[in-house]
Amino acid sequence: MNILSRHFFCAIVFCITLSTTILVAQTPYQPSGLVKKTGPRSQVDLASVIIKDNDGKTLDAQTFIQLLQTGEYDSEAYVDEQEQVKEIVIRPRKEGSPRIELQQVSSNSLKDELENVRIKDQALRKLLMSITTSINDTNSEEYKYLMLLMVQEDVKNQEQVIKIVDENGWLGISQVGVLANSALFLVIQHASLELQEKYFPLLKESAEKGESNLADMALMDDRIRMRRKLKQLYGSQTVNINGKNYVWPIEDPQNVDERRKQVQLPPLSDYLKIVGLSYPQDELPSELF
């Protein structure tokens, strides 16, 4: 084959290859060996399936959720012979087709993200607690530095959690598990009064549905009341004034244990033994109010 013939042959092969590539790109991707799921949608753990777009390109869970949130895409689930979802394919939404609800998708990416937030929220607090327990010195430079780090970390955690809650709602235990769900409470519990009051109704609703811890709801309720200079309901909040700890005043203390029981908290006396306090208190400093 001479040079001219070789060039002509290569050009033909290139055109065939290009034509084939274009043809494949224009054909919607279909998973091999799987069947499209029909009927009611169920929750899907995105960490356990392969996610692809209309061209067969693999996507991560976060990108998948972001595309769904635009309202311009819908998804199809493909199952094996045991009716187990193995692949999800996101496709441009057809006009008039029902929009998928994000609550139907259980994303392990959010679960992992929140569990990591929980670790960041608790790690420095536990370290600070160990310092005060071992050397009983909150004026040391080391303690002050860790406090600064904790405040900075809290701000980052709040930004992260608020974004998640605003986009997905108060994610319940059935969606992300106990640890990730508690991360929402912990971060907001350590936030400003304004943020606590804004998101407390979501926590309360979730707890009343059994999707969040009732005790978490009680603790945030008490903290909001304390910061508003109101008496608390469950006796969970204490305050340090001039180096001495006090129980924040309790509304209707005679029935506090009944209220605590309703939110799965132990009797007040058991709790106060742990923190070395008693109630009622004989002398309360004026600063308490």
Q: For the segment 46-65, what is each residue's pLDDT rounded down to a tens digit? A: 666 788 998 999 988 768 77
Predicted confidence at residue 133, as pLDDT, reads 58
Give a yes or no: residue 72 inside a domain.
yes
Instruction: For residue 180, give its domain range.
Output: 107-212
Tell me the C-alpha to C-alpha distance, in Å, between residue 284 and each of 21, 253, 289: 80, 16, 9
| Contact call for residues 110 and 45 (beta carbons, < 8 A) | no
Predicted confidence at residue 209, as pLDDT, reads 92
Predicted confidence at residue 232, as pLDDT, reads 96
Give a yes or no: residue 73 inside a domain.
yes
Whether residue 270 sits in one domain with residue 191: no
pLDDT tens digits, one per residue of 203-252: 999 999 999 999 999 999 999 999 999 999 999 999 988 888 899 999 99
Whether residue 114 sits in one domain with residue 96: no
Give a yes or no: residue 6 inside a domain.
no
What domain count does the chain have? 3
Q: Buried b vs exposed e over 252-277: b needs ≥16 C-beta within 10 Å?
A: eeeebbebbeebebeebeebeeeeeb
Predicted confidence at residue 37, as pLDDT, reads 79
Q: Which residues of the chain have pLDDT under 50?
A: 2-25, 40-42, 100-106
Give a yes or no: residue 56 inside a domain.
yes
Domain C-terminal end among 54, 89, 105: 105
Domain C-terminal end among 89, 105, 121: 105
Q: What are phi and psi of 163, to 5 degrees?
A: -60, -45
Predicted confidence at residue 17, as pLDDT, reads 38
Domain C-terminal end among 105, 121, 154: 105
Predicted confidence at residue 20, as pLDDT, reads 37
Predicted confidence at residue 213, as pLDDT, reads 95
| Contact call for residues 265 and 218 (beta carbons, < 8 A) | yes
Whether residue 176 sits in one domain with residue 119: yes
Spatial separation of the C-alpha atoms in residues 104 and 233, rounded to whole Å:
36
Whether residue 285 sits in one domain with residue 201: no
Whether residue 161 sits in one domain with residue 186: yes
Whether residue 194 sits in one domain with residue 111: yes
Give the angle 272-123-157 at the CA atoms, nearest 5°: 105
Whether residue 164 sits in one domain with residue 121: yes
Give the pTM. Answer: 0.62
Predicted confidence at residue 263, as pLDDT, reads 95
Whether residue 187 sits in one domain with residue 93: no
Whether residue 283 sits in one domain with residue 250: yes
Amino acid of residue 264: Q
Whether residue 204 sits in one domain with residue 124: yes
Give a yes or no: residue 22 inside a domain.
no
